[in-house]
């Protein structure tokens, strides 16, 4: 781009006068009121279609999660309420169905009343993206693949370690399931073109990555033990520093808040550590030569 002398002078003159003009206009304008400020368009609620899970899928989900009377099951997008109703009726669990379609919520509430389980099976007309699910011990999901993936961070943020999450047909991207079951289900052919269904089971892991200072029973070792754990979702590995030795941990496992690993304390002597992670501590017992001793670790 090229400026000749005359246009350069014009540009300098404009720059010099414009700010003053803008200031004068601002001084003359009436003060802004909240209702004058432009608001973003209200976001439409993301809602996929209503397709009920066949009864075989409902049973499979409840079975894989081991749902029982101590559980609180939340179905995110509960349709006609069948998962919550079955969990309450056949397994004695408490449940909450979150559903955006009024008609389906009404149907679910009526069904719960009819079955006499409305004290344990509740339904609300709400957007699942803005509903707090932290009270759940089990979450069930049958939603479109993109919606399932959009829920991943919410689940991880709100749910307590150990909470089971089950998805029907669509896995959660970037999170390896603990297990899955694929089985024949002719009823699915109409919805997906495949006469089969898949259920994926996930478990919210405790956050244990990082360095831990271990209080060891003297009978195990008098040396200082520090663990360095690396975590990606429920996958865990790590190293131990025992005295001045670096030792890779063996058979490291994380299941909800349960941590376990094996540590070769000295040649031919391997201790098995098991513990629960809670409130910034890991506490449990370590077994060596057949006797179990208590151990505890705190963040280093």
Q: Which is nearer to ligand SAM, 165 or 216 (CB)?
A: 165
Residue at shortest CB range from ligand SAM = 77
Kindly tell me which residue out of 123, 142, 261, 295 binds ligand SAM, with binding defined by CB under 6 A. Answer: 142
96 — phi, psi (to 5°)? -135, 130
Instruction: Assess 275 for contact with ligand SAM (CB under 6 A).
Output: no
Asked if residues 97 and 108 have their Cβ atoms less than 8 Å apart, the reply is: yes
Phi/psi region, residue 77 (left: phi>0; alpha: psi -120 to 50; beta: rest), is: left
Name the minimum Å distance from CB 294 to ligand SAM.
Answer: 44
Q: Which is nearer to ligand SAM, 129 or 233 (CB)?
A: 129
Name the minimum Å distance from CB 241 to ligand SAM.
Answer: 48
| Residues 166-205 within binding reach of ligand SAM (CB under 6 A) | 168
Kindly tell me which residue out of 11, 45, 173, 235 binds ligand SAM, with binding defined by CB under 6 A. Answer: 45
| Residues 89-108 within binding reach of ligand SAM (CB under 6 A) | 98-101, 104
Alpha-carbon torsion, ordered 300, 134, 94, 145, to 10 deg: -110
Site residue total, ligand SAM (CB under 6 A):
25
**Which residues is 275 bridged to in the sheet?**
259, 284
Indicate the helix (H) or strand (E) that contains 114.
Answer: helix 102-115
Pairwise CA distance, residues 285 & 266, whole Å: 18
Instruction: Assess 136 for contact with ligand SAM (CB under 6 A).
Output: no
Q: Which is nearer to ligand SAM, 99 or 258 (CB)?
A: 99
Instruction: Assess 59 for contact with ligand SAM (CB under 6 A).
Output: no
Instruction: Assess 264 for contact with ligand SAM (CB under 6 A).
Output: no
**Which residues is 296 bridged to in the sheet?**
215, 283
Half-sphere exposure of 154 (CA within 13 A, CB side): 15
Kindly tell me which residue out of 118, 127, 178, 283 binds ligand SAM, with binding defined by CB under 6 A. Answer: 127
Two tokens, residue 1: 């781009």
């Amino acid at each position: 781009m090229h400026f000749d002398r005359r246009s350069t002078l014009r540009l300098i003159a404009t720059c010099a006068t414009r700010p003053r003009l803008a200031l004068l206009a601002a001084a003359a304008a009436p003060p802004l009121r909240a209702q004058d400020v432009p608001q973003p368009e209200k976001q439409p609620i993301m809602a996929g279609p209503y397709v009920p899970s066949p009864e075989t899928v409902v049973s499979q989900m409840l079975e894989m999660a081991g749902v029982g009377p101590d559980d609180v099951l939340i179905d995110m997008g509960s349709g006609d309420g069948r998962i919550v109703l079955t969990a309450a009726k056949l397994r004695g669990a408490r449940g909450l169905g979150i559903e955006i379609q009024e008609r389906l919520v009404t149907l679910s509430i009526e069904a719960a009343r009819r079955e006499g389980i409305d004290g344990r099976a509740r339904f609300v007309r709400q957007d699942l993206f803005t509903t707090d699910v932290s009270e759940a011990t089990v979450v069930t999901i049958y939603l479109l693949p993109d919606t399932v993936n959009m829920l991943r961070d919410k689940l991880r943020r709100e749910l307590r370690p150990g909470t089971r999450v089950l998805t029907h047909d669509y896995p959660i991207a970037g999170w390896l399931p603990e297990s899955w079951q694929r089985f024949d289900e002719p009823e699915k052919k109409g919805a997906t073109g495949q006469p089969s269904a898949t259920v994926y089971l996930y478990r919210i892991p405790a956050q244990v990555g990082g360095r831990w200072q271990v209080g060891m029973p003297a009978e195990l070792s008098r040396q200082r033990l520090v663990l360095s754990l690396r975590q990606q979702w429920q996958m865990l590995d790590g190293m131990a520093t025992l005295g001045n030795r670096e030792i890779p941990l063996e058979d490291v496992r994380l299941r909800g808040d349960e941590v376990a690993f094996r540590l070769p304390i000295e040649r031919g002597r391997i201790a098995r550590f098991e513990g629960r992670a809670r409130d910034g501590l890991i506490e449990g017992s370590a077994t060596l030569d057949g006797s179990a001793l208590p151990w505890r670790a705190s963040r280093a």
